[in-house]
């Protein structure tokens, strides 16, 4: 841990806007970005709501010719990366690009391209497949696009671990900087799965909320009335940088990324372990990696998907990891306002944590009206709270039993 890692740039494409300041302001205001799906006819689906990206000006970030060669997850991820770089003030033409890399992942990848290409095949036959289909679909193509954009020749790959994707990417990027392999890393996640296949697949699992008449009240983590998660899309990308060089160049530093834990439940392909053991170990490992004790943490940004089993298992894991200190923690669920952006979720939520540390105001958990049994912690309901975060954990858990936790700290 001789090399410290800090956050110097933020980029967001989200249901609450496509600028990190606007995103944060709407979170603090307790606004929901969930609405009835507008992009295709959902009348035949059990779940008809989502956190769709709105007000996204793709022409500002990607030339039209290139747009046609990318799936929406790449549109979002490349745009968020450009925002983060601009926010950081970095000029890669003046950097050693062999020490600059990218770890921006996706949980599902080019699902919309897969869908449209199959529709083309069924209508016109195999001769009409696009030669760009495979490069558009594969999950690792996004960090490739980002690297090409800036000529970044350092560590570059895609971690895909379902809903833990972006958090794993951030943690592994931090390790690359710590170990001296890189000085600057763009890290986070992107997802664009609000389409026939994405909604249809999750509906078939009965995983999604069916509160279609009240979209803004559908995502309700830890509330007794929750009935599934609300799917979302977008991208969250952070610029991570070695602390001394960031300080030397006069960079604005949002916070420090100080710890990372990663574990597996080895239990079930979609359900978390009933006692949250793997998630608790991830939190303990992240705190140990940051050389902090449980009582040093005063805020947790939970995974909090608004599913019956997932929320209860996470609360049990938090109580296991923190013991009595769990009741002294403050926590708030970003997904209550934007829904669950799958592989992008950890990136968007990490941006939120960085902003909350910098600004000293913590966003609320909305729709928390009737606490479920055992959900007796401080969830900051309804209203934002002025609060100095000294150290925070960010949890993400994915299908397959993948658990990832980050530890962010205020700069002393």
Active site residues: 163, 303, 340
Q: Is residue 7 a contact partner of residue 242, using CB atoms and an 8 Å limit?
A: no
Q: Is residue 201 a contact partner of residue 347, using CB atoms and an 8 Å limit?
A: no
Total count of residues recorded for the chain? 412
């Amino acid at each position: 841990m001789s090399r410290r890692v800090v956050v110097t740039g933020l980029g967001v494409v989200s249901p609450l806007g496509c600028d990190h300041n606007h995103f944060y302001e709407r979170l603090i205001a307790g606004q929901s970005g969930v609405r009835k799906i507008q992009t295709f006819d959902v009348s035949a689906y059990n779940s008809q709501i989502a956190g769709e990206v709105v007000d996204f000006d793709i022409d500002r970030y990607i030339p039209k010719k290139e747009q046609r060669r990318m799936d929406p997850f790449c549109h979002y991820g490349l745009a968020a990366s450009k925002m983060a770089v601009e926010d950081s003030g970095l000029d890669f033409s003046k950097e050693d690009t062999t020490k600059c890399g990218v770890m921006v992942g996706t949980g599902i990848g080019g699902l919309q391209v897969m869908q449209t290409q199959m529709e083309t095949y069924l209508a016109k036959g195999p001769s009409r497949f696009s030669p760009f289909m495979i490069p558009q679909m594969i999950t690792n193509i996004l960090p490739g696009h980002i690297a090409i954009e800036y000529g970044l020749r350092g560590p570059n790959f895609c971690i895909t671990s379902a809903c833990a994707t972006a958090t794993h990417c951030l943690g592994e990027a931090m390790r690359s900087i710590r170990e001296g392999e890189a000085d600057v890393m763009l890290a986070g996640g992107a997802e664009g799965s609000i389409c026939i296949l994405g909604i249809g697949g999750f509906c078939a699992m009965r995983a999604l909320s069916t509160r279609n008449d009240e979209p803004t009240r559908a995502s309700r983590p830890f509330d007794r009335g929750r009935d599934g998660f609300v799917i979302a899309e977008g991208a969250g990308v952070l610029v991570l940088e070695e602390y001394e060089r960031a300080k030397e160049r006069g960079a604005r530093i949002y916070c420090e990324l100080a710890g990372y834990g990663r574990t597996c439940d080895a239990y079930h392909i979609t359900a978390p372990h009933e006692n949250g053991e793997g998630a608790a170990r991830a939190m303990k490992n992240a705190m140990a990696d940051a050389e902090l004790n449980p009582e040093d943490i005063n805020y947790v940004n939970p995974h909090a998907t608004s599913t019956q089993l997932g929320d209860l298992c996470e609360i049990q894991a938090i109580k296991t990891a923190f013991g009595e200190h769990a009741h002294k923690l403050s926590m708030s669920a970003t997904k209550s306002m934007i829904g669950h952006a799958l592989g992008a979720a950890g990136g968007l939520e990490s941006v939120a944590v960085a902003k909350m540390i910098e600004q000293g105001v913590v966003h609320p958990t909305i729709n928390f009206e009737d606490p479920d049994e055992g959900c007796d912690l401080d969830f900051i309901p309804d209203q934002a709270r002025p609060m100095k975060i000294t150290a925070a954990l960010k949890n993400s858990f994915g299908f397959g039993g993948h658990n990832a936790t980050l530890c962010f700290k205020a700069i002393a």
